[in-house]
Structure 1
Amino acid sequence: MTTQSELSPFSTLDDYIALPRVEGLALSPDGRRVVLTVATLSRDRTSYDRALWSAAADGSGVPTRLTRSAKGESGVAFTGSGDILFVSGRPDADAEKDTEAAQLWLLPAGGGEARAVTRLAGGVSGIAATAARSDTIVIAANLLVSAADLEADATARGLRKDKKVAAILHESYPVRYWDEDLGPAEPHLFSLDLSALEDVLAATAPDAAGSDKRADAPAPYPADLPRPRDLTPGPGRSGDTAGQALTPDGRTLIAALRAQEQRSGRAVLVSIDLETGVQTVLFDEEHVDFAAPAVSHDGSRLAFVRAEDSTPDGPADQELWVADIDGGRPRRVAVGWDRWASSLVFDADDRSLIVTADHDGRGPVFRVPLDGSAVQQVTTDQFSYTDVAVDAATGDLVALRSSWLAPSHPVRIGRSGEVTVLATPTTPPPAPGRVTEIETRAEDGARVRAWLLLPDGASAEHPAPLLLWIHGGPLNSWNAWSWRWSPLLAVARGYAVLLPDPALSTGYGLEFIARGWDAWGAKPYTDLLAITDAAEARADIDGTKTAAMGGSFGGYMANWIAGHTDRFRAIVSHASVWALDQFNGTTDSSHYWQQISSAQGMIDNSPHHSVRDIVTPMLVIHGDNDYRVPIGESLRLWSELAEHHAEPDGSTRHKFLYFPDENHWVLKPQHAVVWYETVFAFLDQHVHGAAWKRPELLG
């Protein structure tokens, strides 16, 4: 008989990477339809193509594909008139010369072909904000430091391209972010009045804009397009925002702009008048970030997150605040509710905030009343919710939700919390095995919980080997589907996968986070061992066959575990922190890690001090384009493993999988296949005693 695992696409890596995936959702102004961003594997299987699909927001009908292009589409949003906006690098038939950069495109609500509405030399980074009752929008785009306007930017870019110059001169910190080299351009916010789009179509030639006819004059910005207006013309990276929102009339932008501080910065909440460009500071405090602004439907109020800087003494809370749109009468709401908002919007009646937050291994939707009454949990299922939008007419919500058994899919949430699944062009894959929840008590009495995914057939007669999979962050929770970190791939191969939330995890309150603060190797480590003990005590788990793995902070914990216990048969350490003193000065955001770590904490909690005590075989994995945890961490780990544990002939049972062109996650589908093939071959070798099988594509 064919088992569920054999039928599942998780049994074959090639089938898994070919699964289509929903990545984004936007709700139309009338609340009648959603537009989904759907990614599918490219023909050569080395990337993902993205297209837009439309579906009814009430759950009826079947989805309709809206776009199709070789370059794909992303960043979907609606104008106040119901036109669809997106960002794409598709060719612009109206341009004299293709910029090869992604531009803003508009698909008319009444039907017809999409058309480009920008032609910026450096392209458009994304849609920053749209207005509910206006066709004025705000986009994000980069300009070279020396460029005084759009024409100068195009000229300077052309010169660098012609001379093949890639050098970047930095005059402030930071210089890198995740996998991106910052500069030589800097981020800006631009307003764009799309209501003028039809009028400017009447222009018959570039000369209509009164362009400079000198031979050496830069080419003017196209007169047949609305000209973007720079809202953040100041120098530096002030356009690196922590969120922004437009008032419904499209006249005012509320933005959390970056204010530079030596090698760090804080987010300052400002109001920008789109007609005059005048900026007014609403909230600015030293050592405080103001982020995630949202504007009420009537345009009279704003909501935001206020977060003081954390220090080595402990984590700071992330507070919800509301104020008048001009910053007057500010007050905190949800006082005493120590969950951290991952998104917030105003409810349809503007009397509450609709908030998502990590909570007990899930990511529910909450309603936060502005009158000071108790926070209400709207959804009570096993899912985590993102991309939440409010239907202003009915008060219902639409969102994406996911769990460890179901990838992101669109749903409608009624006022009382009932959930209706919407039509989607992607068919949810059948998940192998089953999921349960386990918990234990740590040595200090704290409750520690985890998801446990069990393979089909796991029982007392046939106990499954256990894979402890540690989350990154460290401020994170195992509560939502991940296409990159898929425990179901291990479940389909017979492993039980333990997904714990130890100290430092979000969704359990500030005190739970504080248990591991500036002490990563203390309670986070003992919590992991305690919950592993609880899993191994089950009759359907083979406690003699356990392995551990993790990435980023999870990789740090894998390294710490390797130097402090021999209970695991194999350890996989991906994109890991090895030496805290080295990491804290070379990561892309060194100021943050140094402000939350004491000098003694970095000494006491650095895994590299225990390299001599490692006895468990380790698979080390890293991508060279990882700037959050630089490659030097794994290079040093590999060097010190060889120094202390290699045989006289240089051979070693440890392995190092290196990706020269990948980042923190390893995202190219063909490389994801190699990643999993190597991990499973390594686990099978040391957990099951199988012969080592080198993945074919590794030569």
Structure 2
Amino acid sequence: MRRTLVVAWAFVLLLSGPVWAGKRAFTIEDLYRIKNVADPQISPDGKQIAFVVTEYNLREGKSNSDLWLMNADGTHLRQLTHSEAADWYPRWSPDGKTILFLSTRKDGAQIWLLPVEGGEPRQLTKMSTGVSDPVWSPDGKWIAFSSSVFPECGADDSCNRAIQEKMNDGPIQAHLADELLYRHWDFWKDGKVVHTFVVEVESGNVRDLTPGPFDAPAFSLEGGRGYVFSPDGKEICFVSNHDRDQALSTNKDLWVVPVTGGDPVNITDDNEAYDADPLYSPDGRYIAYRMQKVPGYESDRFRLAVYDRKTGTKRVLTEAFDNWVVDFRWSPDSKSIYFLGEVRGHVPLYRVDVATGKTNLVVDDKTIDAFEVAPDGKWIAYVRRSVAEPREIYRVTVAGTGRKRLTEFNKPIEEEVDIRPAEEMWVKGADGDSIHVFVVKPHGFDPSKKYPLILNVHGGPQSQWADAFRGDWQVYPGAGYIVAFPNPHGSTGYGQRFTESISGDWGGKVMEDIMKVTDALAALPWVDEERMGAMGWSWGGYAMMWLEGHTDRFKCLAAMMGVYDLRSMYGATEELWFPEWDMKGTPWTSDLYEKFSPSNYVVNFKTPCLVITGELDFRVPYTQSLQFFTALQRRGVPSRLIVFKNDGHWPNFVKSMPLYYAAHLDWFSRWLGGGGSPWPIEKMVRNMAW
């Protein structure tokens, strides 16, 4: 019997007829027609904005990025580069006459310089090891950048090239390690470290500012600032972790070093947790940065702090803000800092007063991915999206008024295709806490009908589903499915206590939340409770493997890059601080590895399951999925395995993700009865689908 649940709904819809009227359903091919608009950079005089637009070719599995330029009000839009190679990461010179950018048009990723008033770009660097994250010095004479090099070589590129060529071309092909963290994310370190360099713009001469055996800047999956010049151009602040046991340490520190070279000084040595993403105040008095307080816990609350360069003291500005600070920028007068935060499924923009710590909301525009403050301090350019709106560039005053859309690269597809919006519901979960759920209804939705439903559990697990455009939120509704995205215990955006609650409790409150959300969804009149499936990626993949052994509520499951056996996962993953914190120890000191391993519940496996993984996934090694698939097959459970040969934890968007979406549609159609894949999966794997 269907249980009666009290569910609170918040509808952000429809004033006059369905939004899909006259539009057709969204497809996988439409996803690859969407142009990605990103990285807005305001010119020093505040009159222009440079940015990047990426286009995709689904059938060729290719993408290309180019630089664009427009006036600050969105007028006089023009394309700056037209190369068949990728051009990205535009940065204005301090005098506004030149835009540096990264390009693969020659010698791999290198720095190129483009005159704004016209002319051909010139190549500045020729590092065989490639270049990342270039930053202008305030006087425009130097550019800092990072590159992965052999420490004994440093800036000697001929040395780096010789070693790499021998390793690539010699008869012996092997990896060597004498300590942990020998591989990271999707690459083997092979004796290399990341260093910060400066290149002289006039001569092209390169110097290594951070020689030695440590990554400087330290690895950051989310990007962020690894180094920055002081306003007077005399020093650089960079991020590095010099702890001995790198695989066990979440510590990062801020170091300062003269641009002319010298011994770096650690200015955050008193904190054994995360200190990173430095940014000097325009007046030079402070260095703002993000920090955590709990060593070894990667999901501690990210706070915004300032270091006073005159006194050497540090102060947290956002202690009263009980969610994660994501990114930030100074106001031109150095009196306040603008920052993004993850809050209840949104990513709004805030401003904090440096003197008082008072925080105010500037604008909540669903999901803001990036922003820049204008030089006059009066307005802000930002990239935003929502479930029904792909990324575009907008502007708003610093008071949060006068919101204006500046770009319309995706307007044609928005007018042609039904890009579905999200509705929101709240369900009472474990401990009586309210669980936030986004629901996307299918194209042509009719409330008198019943539809198959897909519940999608996010990874992390300390992250949040946000009101943001994503493929999963559109491809499946376009094929006739309802999709639901819950933020259960462990999610960010609902206070740090809520985030912390999942550590040491992977099979507890969060799984109770998932099942209560399932009950609430099944009770909706337009959900067919006999045709409900679930899917998840990373920790969400773990959740699918756990549900496989604990419920038969779902007609099918799909587990991507999931954790199956926690003991063997510990022995093969790279960042050991994560399992040691969340499982409260090692496999030989904590029984949670056994308690919460899906591998211990194989006898209960019965739900058909799709399994997807990538051979280069060093975070959740692909052998976890192989073990899971083996168990499913030996138990006689209908199952399918897809292994991406050249991908890690995040498969390539244009080469591999089309198969990901199609395989899910094929699987859900088989077991839930909704729309299926537009192409045979076997032909896609053989590159014969089109």
Q: Provide the TM-score with structure 2 as the length reference.
A: 0.88
Distance in 1 (CA, whole Å) between partners of 2:674 and 2:112 is: 55
Deviations 1:392-440 (A, max 9, x none): 2133111111111112211112112132111254436334333211001
Amino acid at match of 1:468: L
Aligned to 2:60: 45
Cα contact 2:442–2:480 (8 A) shared by 1: yes
After superposition, the Cα gap between the structure-2 partners of 1:334 and 1:148, relative to the gap in structure 1 and judged at 3 Å, is closer
Deviates further, 405-414 or 326-335: 326-335
Deviates further, 342-351 or 465-474: 342-351
Aligned to 1:354: 338
Amino acid at match of 2:602: V
Cα contact 1:677–1:695 (8 A) shared by 2: no
1:5 deviates by 8.7
Aligned to 2:517: 531
Aligned to 2:593: 602
Alignment partner of 1:389 out of 372, 375, 385: 372
1:472 deviates by 1.1
1:477 deviates by 0.8
Cα contact 1:55–1:63 (8 A) shared by 2: yes
2:252 counterpart SS class: strand
Aligned to 2:185: 178
1:271 partnered with 2:287: no
Aligned to 2:407: 423
1:499 deviates by 1.0
Alignment partner of 1:334 out of 300, 304, 318: 318
After superposition, the Cα gap between the structure-2 partners of 1:585 and 1:308, relative to the gap in structure 1 and judged at 3 Å, is farther
1:543 deviates by 2.3
Aligned to 2:445: 458
1:239 partnered with 2:222: no
Aligned to 1:63: 77
Distance in 1 (CA, whole Å) between partners of 2:458 and 2:60 is: 28
1:696 partnered with 2:683: yes
Aligned to 1:481: 468
Distance in 1 (CA, whole Å) between partners of 2:477 and 2:21 is: 8
1:535 deviates by 2.3
1:308 partnered with 2:299: no
Aligned to 1:620: 611
Q: How does 1:287-302 map to 2 (within 5 A)?
A: 287-302=272-287
Aligned to 1:204: none
After superposition, the Cα gap between the structure-2 partners of 1:402 and 1:148, relative to the gap in structure 1 and judged at 3 Å, is closer
Cα contact 1:9–1:15 (8 A) shared by 2: no
Cα contact 1:288–1:308 (8 A) shared by 2: yes
Distance in 2 (CA, whole Å) between partners of 1:166 and 1:84 is: 41
Cα contact 1:310–1:595 (8 A) shared by 2: no
Cα contact 2:437–2:487 (8 A) shared by 1: yes
1:249 partnered with 2:232: yes
1:25 partnered with 2:40: yes
RMSD over aligned Cα, in angstroms? 2.5
Amino acid at match of 2:34: L
Alignment partner of 1:611 out of 602, 611, 624: 602
Amino acid at match of 2:228: A
Aligned to 2:664: 679
Aligned to 2:388: 405
1:564 partnered with 2:550: yes
1:482 deviates by 5.3
After superposition, the Cα gap between the structure-2 partners of 1:116 and 1:315, relative to the gap in structure 1 and judged at 3 Å, is closer
Distance in 2 (CA, whole Å) between partners of 1:600 and 1:510 is: 25
Deviations 1:14-61 (A, max 9, x none): 3322332224322222222222211112496212111111122223x1
Alignment partner of 2:112 out of 105, 110, 119: 105
Amino acid at match of 1:144: F
Aligned to 2:3: none
Amino acid at match of 2:195: H
1:143 partnered with 2:149: yes
Aligned to 1:95: none
Distance in 1 (CA, whole Å) between partners of 2:581 and 2:383 is: 35
Deviates further, 431-440 or 226-235: 431-440
Aligned to 2:13: none
Distance in 2 (CA, whole Å) between partners of 1:371 and 1:497 is: 45
Deviates further, 319-328 or 498-507: 319-328
Matched positions, count: 649
Cα contact 2:291–2:304 (8 A) shared by 1: yes
Amino acid at match of 1:239: P
Distance in 1 (CA, whole Å) between partners of 2:390 and 2:125 is: 34
Q: How does 1:429-468 map to 2 (within 5 A)?
A: 429-430=413-414, 431-468=418-455
After superposition, the Cα gap between the structure-2 partners of 1:449 and 1:570, relative to the gap in structure 1 and judged at 3 Å, is same
Distance in 2 (CA, whole Å) between partners of 1:43 and 1:637 is: 31
Distance in 2 (CA, whole Å) between partners of 1:48 and 1:662 is: 16
2:594 counterpart SS class: helix
After superposition, the Cα gap between the structure-2 partners of 1:137 and 1:487, relative to the gap in structure 1 and judged at 3 Å, is same
Aligned to 2:102: 87
1:259 counterpart SS class: coil
Amino acid at match of 1:255: F
Distance in 2 (CA, whole Å) between partners of 1:666 and 1:510 is: 30
Unaligned runs of 5+ in 1: 92-99, 198-224, 647-651
Aligned to 2:328: 344
Distance in 2 (CA, whole Å) between partners of 1:74 and 1:618 is: 39
Aligned to 1:259: 242
Aligned to 1:369: 353
After superposition, the Cα gap between the structure-2 partners of 1:689 and 1:463, relative to the gap in structure 1 and judged at 3 Å, is closer
Q: Provide the TM-score with structure 1 as the length reference.
A: 0.87
Deviations 1:469-492 (A, max 9, x none): 111111111115355x42210010
Cα contact 1:237–1:258 (8 A) shared by 2: yes
Alignment partner of 1:582 out of 544, 554, 568: 568
